[in-house]
């Protein structure tokens, strides 16, 4: 039995067809969301999601080689968050009265590691992120969809609930006991020009 010989144009066409098929399969599956090929579907405004809340800062070991830039191409700033569960530009509000961040609003402009299924809130320093820690099973409401970078035009950009006396005291004591400078790798993004 003789194997048919493929000439160069036919081989290129076959490879191109295979690449298109692989791209289509990836982009139409959950792998496409994780790899950033496609956006997760929009959920109706008013939908209440139960999510874990975490915090991150602009450190290369927490982000990537460009810690001041979000996945949407904007500069990090107060009021942004990262998740792979909602499309970029989704505006959410923490609506859990037991949360430290109750009534805070965030716009999704960044992505998390694929294995992280949480709302990751940006904070200006690693120490702030460590002080916040993690909250489990927090109610988060989808309140709008905007273009990434449009958050500055919304009223009530960020309303962080004040911490109680005991929480402030525990954070102060914890900070006093920690010797290493956790902020030593932070990158100052405040001087970056926001192109969003």
pLDDT digits (tens, 9 = 90+) for 97-137: 788 888 889 999 998 887 778 899 999 888 888 888 888 89
Q: What are phi and psi of 174, to 5 degrees?
A: -65, -40
Superfamily designation of domain 48-177: RlpA-like domain (2.40.40.10)
Count of Cβ atoms closer than 10 Å to residue 49 Cβ? 16
Residues 6+ apart with CB under 8 A from 100: 132, 135, 160, 161, 163, 167
Q: Residue 55: pLDDT above 60? A: yes
**Banded pLDDT at 194 (limits 50, 70, 90):** low
The mean of the pLDDT values for the chain is 76
Q: Would you list the domain boundaries of the chain?
A: 1-38, 48-177
Spatial separation of the C-alpha atoms in residues 118 and 137, rounded to whole Å: 10
135-145 and 48-56: which strand pairing? antiparallel
- Say which residue, 116 or 4, is predicted with more confidence: 116
Q: Is the pLDDT of residue 86 over 70?
A: yes
CB of 143 closer than 8 Å to CB of 56: no
pTM for the whole thing? 0.63
Nearest to 41 by CA among 7, 65, 49: 49
Mean per-residue pLDDT, 63-82:
85
57 pLDDT higher than 60: yes
Q: Which helix (H) or strand (E) holds 136?
A: strand 135-145
Flag whether pLDDT at 77 surpasses 50: yes
The answer to whether 53 touches 94, Cβ cutoff 8 Å, is: yes
Strand runs (DSSP E) across 19-124, as ranges? Answer: 48-56, 80-82, 90-94, 105-110, 118-122
Which pLDDT score, from 0 to 100, does residue 59 have?
Answer: 81
CA gap 53, 155 in Å, rounded: 23
Q: CA nearest 107: which of 97, 117, 127, 122?
A: 122
pLDDT band at 20, cuts 50/70/90? confident
Confidence (pLDDT) at 7: 78
Residue-level pLDDT at 153: 47
pLDDT band at 147 (very low <50, low <70, confident <90, very high): confident
């Amino acid at each position: 039995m003789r194997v048919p010989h493929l000439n160069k144009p036919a081989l290129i066409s076959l490879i191109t067809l295979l690449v298109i098929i692989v791209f289509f399969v990836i982009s139409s599956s959950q792998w496409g969301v994780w790899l950033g090929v496609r956006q997760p579907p929009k959920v109706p405004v008013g939908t209440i999601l139960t999510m874990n809340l975490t915090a991150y800062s602009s450190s290369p070991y927490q982000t990537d080689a460009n810690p001041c830039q979000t996945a949407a191409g904007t500069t990090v700033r107060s009021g942004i968050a990262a998740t792979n569960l909602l499309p970029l530009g989704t505006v959410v509000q923490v609506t859990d009265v037991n949360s430290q961040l109750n009534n805070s609003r965030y716009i999704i402009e960044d992505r998390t590691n694929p294995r992280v299924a949480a709302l990751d809130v940006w904070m200006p320093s690693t120490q702030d992120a460590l002080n916040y820690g993690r909250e489990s099973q927090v109610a988060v409401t989808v309140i709008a969809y905007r273009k990434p970078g449009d958050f500055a035009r919304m009223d009530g950009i960020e309303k962080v609930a004040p911490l109680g006396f005991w929480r402030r005291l525990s954070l102060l004591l914890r900070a006093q006991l920690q010797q290493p400078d956790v902020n030593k790798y932070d990158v100052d993004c405040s001087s970056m020009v926001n192109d969003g």
